[in-house]
Structure 1
Amino acid sequence: MRQRTRVAQLAGSLLLVSLLFSSCQVGRFIYYNFANITDYKIFPSRPLTGSSAPFRFPQSSRPNVPNALTAIAPTEQAVEQFLKDNKTVAFLVIHRDSIQYERYFNGYEESSTVASFSMAKSVTSMLVGCAVEDGLIKSVEEPLTNYLPQLKQNGLENVTIRHLLQMTSGIEFNESYVNPFGHAASFYYGRNLRKSIAKLKPEVAPGTRFQYISGNTQLLGAVLEKALAGKTITTYLQEKLWGPMGMEYDASWSLDKKKDGLEKTFCCLNARARDFAKLGRLYLKQGNWNGKQLIPASWVQESTKIDTTQGSAWHYQYQWWFPSNQGDYMMQGILGQYVYVNPAKDLIIVRLGKDYGDAGWPGLFTRIAAKY
């Protein structure tokens, strides 16, 4: 009898574990144990197609190790060891449209895919700018409930698209990446973003404080989806940017679920380092790609200017981070994914990594820029 009881208990435990890992966000959180740059392998996704005639950055005729790096490590070999020791998998420096420095580490190479994490927030902002230009979204001053009327019952009728872009919506959201029951885990590992979005509620009045939360960007994605009226966000990215920019490689955007999935617009654009660099180049060129205006210059300017009105923070605007007040800006993702842009120096830096390490990347980028 005891033997049968133990067998029944074991069977019940195995069933519980099976259900936990197969269908529950907490189970997936425990199993995968924090985000990894290979997470594009664990989620369903929609494909982006590289160009048959891609744009390629030319190699500089005089490539060199950036001076700021040699100040940290005196030889080229020491620089490479410094980058490798700080969990870097890709490091590119592009000056005046030419690659000055390009290295890959820790088993990665030029063709290796890396998950963007929150760098995708900046791309979502790009697409919102395109949608405004195309007349699909009338204005950033529109309330988000013009597109998601169901959120009126939650008290979000005063939240505008601008509030979402500036991270001043006042929405209650737990951004913790170590809490399996928090909003971030639900959005990242959950399988129904639309349902999760429908539960969001206000915490403070919109336009009164800056708070970086992924819920804002996923709401932008939901607005985009509604505005596109049947076209997927990935398809829109392909048509508006990925194709026209001549990306070198195929890529993808991760979804919450395979059937009728919604793009995780707060994260999860999966691409290669050189193609991430092109996104920086597009903003460096004020939205113009080799003579074709893909994003309005006014949108780029609005996205990258310092603004402290209505609760906005000086260091963040329209899903872009500002490492200084000198006109530079960057895309940024957890574990140290960066695309840094310095228009005054005509400079782009891409750093992708398995973790941040101890390099203090934004400060290092500004020191590198100062040497050009």
Structure 2
Amino acid sequence: MRTILIVIAALIIGAAGGVFLYTRFVPPPNDVIARAQAYEGDRDYFFQNASELYPTRTVSGPEASTPLPQVEGVLDGFNYEHDGERRTLAELYTDMETSGLIILRDGEIVHESYGRGADAGTRFTTWSLVKSITSTLVGVAVAEGKIDSVDDPLSKYLPEVAGTSYEGVTIKQALQMSSGVRYDPRLWEGKMDDTIEFMTKSVITGQKPAYDIAISFKREHEPGSKFNYNTAESQVLLELIRRVTGMSAADYLEQTLWRPLGMEHDADWILDAPGADGAEIGGALFNATLRDWARFGLFIEQGGIWEGEQILPVDWVERATVSDDPHIKPGEVHPNPNRGYAWHWWTYADGTFTASGANGQTLYVDRENDIVVARASAWPAGYVREHDDQTFDMYKALTAWFAREEIGSADADVNAAEAP
């Protein structure tokens, strides 16, 4: 039985990014096994069509979307260095199994391309990238006065966590994945024992809903003292959103962000049960087009402001994307020493940050230089260090490229002003 669970977990979770799919809505076990075997090895289909396989809740966009202007030629000649060799954006598709790439500069699309059978209408599954959306919904709830402070204990809004490992844990500590609660996906080490436990209890046997499983793990450390990447933490935060708003997370996302931001397409969020009782998976399995990933990134890049309206608290983005405690600073949380952590965002020492999902899903934000990069991929494993390093090199090269463009424009303006 354990071998079967590992096979299913590897296909649905490990190959899909160390994500646990807490789903009680499943066919009989034989059909689950057949489904897993049917999609074995076909990452592209699964990553681009996950919402066809499981119950979902739709996040509807507005009748008219907010246009993203497209500018040609801005990145003509762009390349970057990695391991002593020059690489181009086209080589992202061959080197790193990229399925789609959008680069925004000053809110304009300066590059958009697709591969591996995808196009502008493909709803890519985000895997853990959605954790940053879950975090942002907490921020919206704070702005609306539904949550008083991130320093409040979770038990203020979720009284049932009293007596569990989440007793005394604050919202901020959960956002930082610093609750001290044990959970061991460590997908970069290939370990997912707790993930398999989630699969057994929810997807395979349907014993419990996702949230109930999430609060069942034991505590290992004092809250706020140690980082531990814990997808269950995101499920607790999603339940917090459901509880304080009285809405499903999908409906709250639609009302507060998806429609106001003028998203181009509907999205969908996989549930842990069909129908009204189903809860969205707070740490994975949100499905949306790449342009709408980019719009969300642009909203964050602008400090939570959209068309002049401050949707998030004024200081939310700054607080949510800075590693302000020693145990979450770069070098302390991830095998890649460039990475730190904040409120469900991965941070870099230069002030840039990214929402990341396994197998190469990324939403990179450089607020200082007005750059947003959205990329969907189908890496062969949840984490590939070589690919991560190359991605980082590409980001840094983009910053340098646009800085050079600005210098060139400034020189041109000066020369024009001095011309007789």
Q: What is residue 367 of structure 1 aligned with on the other side?
A: 397
Q: What is residue 300 of structure 2 aligned with on the other side?
A: 283
Q: Distance in 2 between matches of 1:333 and 1:123?
A: 12
One-letter code aligned to 2:299: L
Mark the CA change 1:154 to 1:284 in structure 2 (over 3 Å): closer, same or farther: same
Q: What is the count of residue pairs matched by the alignment?
A: 348
In the alignment, structure 1 residue 318 sits paired with structure 2 residue 343? yes
Q: What is residue 317 of structure 2 aligned with on the other side?
A: 300
TM-superposition CA deviations, 1:187-245 (whole Å, max 9, x none): 6846521331241221111111111111111111111111122x111110001100000
Other structure's SS at 1:367 match: helix
In the alignment, structure 1 residue 167 sits paired with structure 2 residue 180? no
In the alignment, structure 1 residue 250 sits paired with structure 2 residue 266? yes
One-letter code aligned to 2:66: F
One-letter code aligned to 1:341: V
Mark the CA change 1:66 to 1:200 in structure 2 (over 3 Å): closer, same or farther: farther
Runs of 4+ in 1 over 6 A off after TM superposition: 26-31, 70-75
Shift in Å, 1:326: 1.3
Q: Distance in 1 between matches of 2:170 and 2:306?
A: 30
One-letter code aligned to 1:258: P
Mark the CA change 1:227 to 1:66 in structure 2 (over 3 Å): closer, same or farther: farther
Q: Distance in 2 between matches of 1:248 and 1:127?
A: 19
1:142 pairs with 138, 141, 152, which one? 152
Q: Distance in 2 between matches of 1:122 and 1:204?
A: 24
TM-superposition CA deviations, 1:169-191 (whole Å, max 9, x none): 11011215566752366168465
Superposition pairs of residues 66-215 of structure 1, within 5 angstroms: 67-69=78-80, 79-176=89-186, 182-183=194-195, 186=198, 189=203, 191=206, 192-215=209-232
One-letter code aligned to 1:349: V
Shift in Å, 1:32: 5.5
Shift in Å, 1:332: 0.4
Q: Distance in 1 between matches of 2:177 and 2:134?
A: 13
Mark the CA change 1:294 to 1:169 in structure 2 (over 3 Å): closer, same or farther: same
Kept after mapping to 1: 8 A contact 2:99/2:116: yes
1:47 pairs with 31, 44, 58, which one? 58
Other structure's SS at 2:162 match: helix
Q: Distance in 2 between matches of 1:141 and 1:255?
A: 29
In the alignment, structure 1 residue 241 sits paired with structure 2 residue 257? yes
2:70 pairs with 59, 77, 80, which one? 59
Kept after mapping to 1: 8 A contact 2:165/2:215: no
Other structure's SS at 1:202 match: coil
One-letter code aligned to 1:222: E
Identify which range, 27-36 or 327-336, moves more after superposition.
27-36
- Give the RMSD, CA atoms, in angstroms: 2.7
Shift in Å, 1:141: 1.2
Q: Distance in 2 between matches of 1:248 and 1:157?
A: 41
Mark the CA change 1:252 to 1:89 in structure 2 (over 3 Å): closer, same or farther: same
Shift in Å, 1:31: 7.0
One-letter code aligned to 1:54: S
Q: Distance in 2 between matches of 1:345 and 1:298?
A: 19
Q: Distance in 1 between matches of 2:251 and 2:349?
A: 35
In the alignment, structure 1 residue 20 sits paired with structure 2 residue 50? no
Mark the CA change 1:175 to 1:209 in structure 2 (over 3 Å): closer, same or farther: same
- What are the ranges of 5 or more consecutive residues in structure 2 without an aligned counterpart? 1-26, 331-339, 403-420
Identify which range, 78-87 or 110-119, moves more after superposition.
78-87
One-letter code aligned to 1:364: M
Q: Distance in 2 between matches of 1:227 and 1:42?
A: 30
Q: TM-score, normalised on structure 2?
A: 0.76
Shift in Å, 1:333: 0.3
Other structure's SS at 2:137 match: helix
TM-superposition CA deviations, 1:141-166 (whole Å, max 9, x none): 11112222222222431111111001
Mark the CA change 1:275 to 1:206 in structure 2 (over 3 Å): closer, same or farther: same
Mark the CA change 1:277 to 1:79 in structure 2 (over 3 Å): closer, same or farther: closer
Q: What is residue 327 of structure 1 aligned with on the other side?
A: 351
In the alignment, structure 1 residue 348 sits paired with structure 2 residue 372? yes
Q: Distance in 2 between matches of 1:258 and 1:339?
A: 29
Identify which range, 41-50 or 54-63, moves more after superposition.
54-63
Q: Distance in 2 between matches of 1:154 and 1:267?
A: 23
One-letter code aligned to 2:318: Q
Shift in Å, 1:21: 3.6
Kept after mapping to 1: 8 A contact 2:180/2:222: yes
Mark the CA change 1:130 to 1:73 in structure 2 (over 3 Å): closer, same or farther: same
